[in-house]
Amino acid sequence: MCAVVGVYNIEDASKIAYYSLFAMQHRGQEASGISSSNGHKIYTIKDRGLVSQIFDENILKKLTGKMAIGHNRYSTAGEDSILDAQPVFARYDLGEMAVVHNGNLTNNKEIRDELIESGAIFQSSMDTENLIHLIARCTKERLKDRIIDAIDKVKGAYSFIFLSRTKMFVMRDRYGFRPLSIAKLADGYVVASETCAFDLIGATFIRDVEPGEMLIFEDGNFETIQIYKSEPKKCIFEYVYFARPDSSVFGQSTYELRKEMGRVLARESTIDADLVIPVPDSGIAAALGYSEESKIPFELGIIRNHYVGRTFIEPTQAIRDIKVKMKLSPIKDLISGKKVVVIDDSIVRGTTSKKIVQMLKDAGAKEVHMKISSPPTSYPCFYGIDTPTKEELISNKYTLEEIREFIGADTLEYISLNGLLKSAGEQKSFCTTCFDGKYFV
């Protein structure tokens, strides 16, 4: 699902980008990269691994200048990851450019085929490369106009940040699928996928970049152009699962919304139980809301282990399946003999839920009631969330009862789509394609 950051007019911009990427590490752990510009030349360093593994003081020193863009890449199957790390850098007729992208272009193939047809070459499988080609081939004189033209050709979800040697351009798609906000720091600005980046570096949140808005950073300041105007289709999964709870996303507190989902879930599916426990860490806020509404006591009944090994040691005969237990462990004294409501954010393939239910039953739970703070996700996302194929999504193939049976819970309830939207406040402005399959772009 990735994270992007842009830093403009701040000393040691690459360090600001580093910290911002560090704060947004949860949005992508496969690869990271930063490009900086000192006004004359763009430098790019990118590699596989976590931000803190790739960069150190010496490496950041090479990324000079007061402008920088950065990217965290979410793990994806298939292609070699070094070639697919971002920023993508290129020399072209107006000089040098680097681009980062959070999202997914739905007409990637068409554009690529067309470009290839006319002699372009592609060195990676990233749709980000398309944009550079479209810009390079545009004959307009100013980069700004070229970006506008290029953007006009692509469809789908995108938060782009372009870095030239002297300017920075930010563009969010007309639906505003992915979050993108702007903040003030020292004499400059920082643009980032999530506001938790601002909190870490001490930048002051200004506002969200608007859907369809372009920001042009130049001469120490920025101007704005509203390129498109559409009904927004913001990704509600950012609230459900993806964003950090301390981030304010699409203008609202992620943590508060998750709590509200929990409350709605409690209203929709009351049950007689002894305690409410979250699957940590993602289910905590919703479980707090569920507890508040249902009056069933909240307990942190499952502990998350912070020490995770590099390589898995095959267990011995005496030990059964251990993988989930190495990450999550139940508090037996608490759970034993109790009717337990477990809150999780979603069920994808169902295998982890099955193991969690089993673990709780092994810990002595009398009943396990699984409550999910999102509706069944039956359709893959093509707007930037890395979901499995339709065939692998358990709710695409099985009924609620079948899923319940598979995971072994006594009851299983999902929040209703309506309930989810209600909890987010504005019912019309969200993308619900992964629930209803109505792809629209």
261, 160, 259, 280: which is closest to 209 by C-alpha? 160
Residue 387 binding its own copies, by CB under 8 A = no
Question: Smallest distance, Å, CB 152 to its own copies?
Answer: 17
Question: Smallest distance, Å, CB 23 to its own copies?
Answer: 8
Query: Is the Cβ of residue 115 or residue 403 nearer to its own copies in the bound state?
Result: 115
Question: Smallest distance, Å, CB 60 to its own copies?
Answer: 7
Contacts of 396 (CB under 8 A, 6+ apart): 378, 379, 390
Q: Which of 183, 240, 334, 434 binds its own copies (CB under 8 A)?
A: 334
Distance of alpha carbon 180 from alpha carbon 189, whole angstroms:
13
Window 243-272: residues binding its own copies (CB under 8 A): 244-246, 248, 253, 255-256
Residue 317 binding its own copies, by CB under 8 A = yes
Find residue 162's DSSP bridge partners.
99, 169
Q: For residue 420, what are its two tokens?
A: 């989810």
Kindly calculate the radius of gyration of the chain based on its CA atoms and give it in whole angstroms: 23
What is the SS3 assignment for 167?
coil
Q: What ranges make up the beta strands (E) of 331-388?
A: 339-344, 367-372
Distances (CA, A) of 159 to 2, 189, 358: 10, 17, 41
Residue 110 binding its own copies, by CB under 8 A = no
Residue 438 binding its own copies, by CB under 8 A = no
Window 3-22: residues binding its own copies (CB under 8 A): 10-12, 15-16, 18-19, 22
Q: Which helix (H) or strand (E) holds 151?
A: helix 143-153
Residue 45 binding its own copies, by CB under 8 A = yes
54, 137, 47: which is closest to 97 by C-alpha? 137
Question: Smallest distance, Å, CB 116 to its own copies?
Answer: 5
Catalytic, out of 2, 138, 235, 434: 2
Q: What ranges make up the beta strands (E) of 238-284?
A: 248-249, 252-253, 275-278
Question: Smallest distance, Å, CB 232 to its own copies?
Answer: 21
Residue 150 binding its own copies, by CB under 8 A = no
Distance of alpha carbon 255 from alpha carbon 72, whole angstroms:
23
Angle at 353 between CA 193 and CA 391, to 5 degrees: 75
Residue 286 binding its own copies, by CB under 8 A = no
Site string for its own copies, 77-106 (x = CB under 8 A): ---x-xx----xxxxxx-------------
Residue 329 binding its own copies, by CB under 8 A = yes
Window 129-148: residues binding its own copies (CB under 8 A): 132-133, 136-138
Q: Which of 75, 145, 202, 402 binds its own copies (CB under 8 A)?
A: 202
Active site residue 196: no
Known catalytic residues are 2
